[in-house]
Amino acid sequence: MSQSIAVLDVGGTHLRWATWSRRGGLAAVRRVATPSLANGAAEPVDELRARLVSAMAQAVPADGVAGVAFGAALDHRSGIVYASAPLWGSCTRPFDLAGALARARPDVRWHVVNDVTAALLHLAAGPVGASCRKLLLVTVSTGIAGRTLDRRSGEIPVDGCGLQGEIGHLPATTSIAGRPVTLACDCGQPDHVSSYSSGPGIRRLAAVLRERDPDAWRGSALDGPGPFETLLPAALDAADPVAEELLRAATRPVADVVRSALCLDPELDVVAFTGGVVHALGAHYRRALLAHLNAQGIYLTSALAPESIAERLLVCREGEADPLVGAGLAAERTARS
């Protein structure tokens, strides 16, 4: 397919869109705030869904093809969306997104995939995927999810519900200021990976740390003017001990998932990380994950081959695993099949 494809990336915080083609690459990207609970929208879920479909439909040129990377747990066989905590909180009423888009813009051929699936397709098509058997990509942003791709078959396997890798809602534990902590996930349930390790989860952990150790907090670079998302990476750059404690607590649940994944599937040659939290914290994020995995690694393997985990752990550069490009690749592949 040589024509340009309209590509959209829908997350809990932003809706991004552009055009993409193999020859021309990704054109200028535009973005608006997503109508979502994560952004403070107070409307009922049905109204949020209608607003989102309208915004997506307006972003696509007439009579074309559109690839959508959608930040939700969805059935990859049908395009039915099951749930998205950042978008719609605890609501698990199925939503026929593909059908709603087709009704809003019947002149467009819509192709919908999960946003992590799209990002993984882009990563696997580049140099990182060239020599891999399997890749696992984890996104840590407003929400958390992972996807595994087998490059030998080119498939991202799914279960009988059309799902894979909803790791953000696995049970998790962590501690802060020397004590265990229990926090709710945006889906409404307590003690999930996203409860502690997503962008909103890290802010919740910070609030607990501030409450439990107010003296240390007052002496921290985190207790300053400006948005938390800016203060945290700057504090880590300065080796602030409170920021380091917060990062340790926030990355522990993710490290637990990675350890289990590598233990169960030794063919995973790369475990890559992307998303807003990862890009903001960069090398600090990888360092914190490795500290957990070095302290408690894989039985025997970590002792026999101590570098094996570090060699497989990758923090993606900006644009290296872009859901917009992946949405274009997915739409192109579907159109050819």
Q: What is the mean pLDDT of residues 262-269?
A: 97
For the chain, list the domains and their CATH numbers.
Answer: 5-120+321-336 (3.30.420.40), 127-315 (3.30.420.40)
Find the Cα–Cα–Cα–Cα dihedral 199, 203, 208, 211, rounded to 10°: 170
Question: pLDDT tens digit string along 75-92?
Answer: 998 989 999 999 999 999
Residue 266 pLDDT class (50, 70, 90 cuts): very high
Note the helical H segments in 105-213: 115-125, 193-197, 199-212
What does the pLDDT read at residue 336?
67
Strand order, beta sheet including 268-274 = 144-150, 134-140, 268-274, 313-315
- Tell me: pLDDT of 2 over 60: no
Helix (H, G, I), strand (E, B) or coil at 179: strand
- Tell me: pLDDT of 51 over 70: yes
- Average pLDDT across the chain, whole number: 95
What does the pLDDT read at residue 17?
97
What does the pLDDT read at residue 160?
96
Residue 166 pLDDT class (50, 70, 90 cuts): very high
pTM of the full predicted structure? 0.94
State what percent of residues in the chain have pLDDT above 70. 99
- Which residues fall within 8 angstroms of residue 164, CB to CB, at 6 or more apart? 147, 148, 156, 157, 158
Residue 337 pLDDT class (50, 70, 90 cuts): low
